A and B are shown apart, each in its own frame.
Chain A
Amino acid sequence: MQYLLLIYDNEAGMKRATEGDQRVMMKSYREFTDSITKSGHMKAGDALQPTSTATCVRIRDGKTLMTDGPFAETKEQLGGYYLIEAKDLDEATKIAARVPSASTGTIEVRPLLVFAG
Chain B
Amino acid sequence: MNPSSEAVERVFKQERGRILATLIRILGDIDLGEEALAAALEAALVQWPREGTPANPRAWLIRAARNKAVDRMRRRALFEDKRAELEAEAAREREAGALDSDDEVSVQDDRLRLIFTCCHPALAVEAQVALTLRTLGGLETEEIAHAFLVPAPTMAQRLVRAKAKIRQAGIPYRVPDAEDLPARVDAVLAVVYLVFNEGYAASSGAALIRRELCAEAIRLGRLLAELLPGESEVRALLALMRLTDARRAARVDAAGEMVLLEDQDRARWDRDAIAEGLALVDAVLRAGPPGPYALQAAIAGVHARAARAGDTDWHEIASLYALLRVANPSGVVALNHAAAVAMADGPEAGLRLMDAQVDDGALAGYHLLPAARADLLRRLGRLREAAAAYREALALVGNEADRRFLERRLAQVAPARS
Query: Which residues does A use to contact B, with CB under 8 Å?
Result: 1, 3, 86-90, 92-93, 109, 111, 113, 116
Q: Is the CB of A90 within 8 A of B168?
A: no
User: Of B168, B172, B174, B180, which contacts A111 at CB under 8 A?
Assistant: B168
Q: Closest Cβ of chain A: how far from B43's Cβ, in Å? A: 29
Q: In the bound complex, do residue A88 and residue B122 qualify as a contact, i.e. CB atoms below 8 Å apart? A: no
Contact B169 A111 (CB under 8 A): yes
Closest residue of A by beta carbon distance from B171: A89
Residues of the A chain whose Cβ atoms lie less than 8 Å from the Cβ of B174 = 88, 90
> Are A88 and B172 interface neighbours, CB within 8 A?
yes
Is B170 positioned at the interface, with any CB of A under 8 Å from its CB? yes
Q: Is B176 an interface residue (CB 8 A)?
A: yes
Among residues of B, the one whose C-beta sits closest to the C-beta of A2 is B170
A113 cross-chain contacts in B, Cβ below 8 A: 168
In the complex, what distance in Å separates the CA atom of A88 from the CA atom of B28? 13
Task: Tell me the smallest distance from the CB of B112 to a CB of chain A, in Å.
Answer: 15
Q: How far is the CA of A116 from the CA of B79 in the complex (A)?
A: 10
- Give complex CA distance A93, B122 in Å: 9
- 15 more A-B residue pairs beyond the given contacts A89-B170, A90-B176, A109-B169, with a C-beta to C-beta distance below 8 A: A87-B170, A87-B172, A88-B171, A88-B172, A88-B174, A89-B120, A89-B122, A89-B169, A90-B171, A90-B172, A90-B174, A92-B170, A93-B122, A111-B168, A111-B169
Q: How far is the CA of A116 from the CA of B120 in the complex (A)?
A: 27
A3 to chain B, nearest CB (A): 8
Contacts of A88 in B (CB 8 A): 170-172, 174
* 0/1 interface trace, chain B 165-179, chain A, CB 8 Å (1 if under): 000111110101000
In the bound complex, what is the Cα–Cα distance between A1 and B166 (angstroms)? 13
Q: Majority SS of interface residues in chain B?
A: loop
**Cβ-defined contact, B170 with A1, below 8 A:** yes
Complex Cα–Cα for A19 and B169 (A): 38
Give B266 Cβ to nearest chain A Cβ, in Å: 47
Which residues on A sit within 8 Å (CB–CB) of B170? 1, 3, 86-89, 92, 111
Q: In this complex, what residue of A is CB-closest to B179?
A: A94
Complex Cα distance A3/B171, Å? Answer: 12
Mark B309-348 against chain A: 1 for CB-CB distance below 8 A, else 0: 0000000000000000000000000000000000000000
Give the residues in chain B near A92, CB-CB below 8 Å: 170
Question: How far is B170's CA from A3's CA once the two chains are assembled, in angstroms?
Answer: 10
Residues in B whose Cβ lies below 8 Å from that of A90? 171-172, 174, 176, 180
What 4 pairs across the A-B complex have the smallest Cβ distances?
A: A88-B172, A88-B170, A89-B170, A1-B170
**Binary interface encoding of chain B residues 114-131 relative to chain A, with 1 for a CB under 8 A from any of its CBs, else 0:** 000000101000000000
Provide the bound-state CA to CA distance between A93 and B120, in Å.
Answer: 12
Residue from A3, A89, A93 having most chain B Cβ neighbours under 10 A:
A89
Contacts of A86 in B (CB 8 A): 170
Task: Give the docked Cα–Cα distance between A90 and B176 (Å).
Answer: 9
Which among B78, B120, B170, B180 has the highest number of chain A CB atoms within 10 Å?
Answer: B170
How far, in whole Å, are A90 and B120 apart by their CA atoms in the complex?
A: 10
Residues of B within 8 A of A109 (CB): 169
The CB with the most chain B CB atoms within 10 A, among A87, A90, A109, A113, is that of: A90
Q: Whole-angstrom distance between the alpha carbons of A111 and B164 in the complex?
A: 12
Residue of A nearest to B78 (CB): A116
Question: Separation in Å of the B330 CB from the closest CB of chain A?
Answer: 25
14 A-B pairs, CB-CB below 8 angstroms? A1-B170, A86-B170, A88-B170, A88-B172, A89-B120, A89-B169, A89-B170, A89-B171, A90-B171, A90-B172, A90-B180, A109-B169, A111-B169, A111-B170
The answer for the CA separation of A92 and B176 in the assembled complex, in Å, is: 14
Cα–Cα, bound, A111→B180 (Å): 22
Least Cβ distance of B124 to chain A in Å?
15
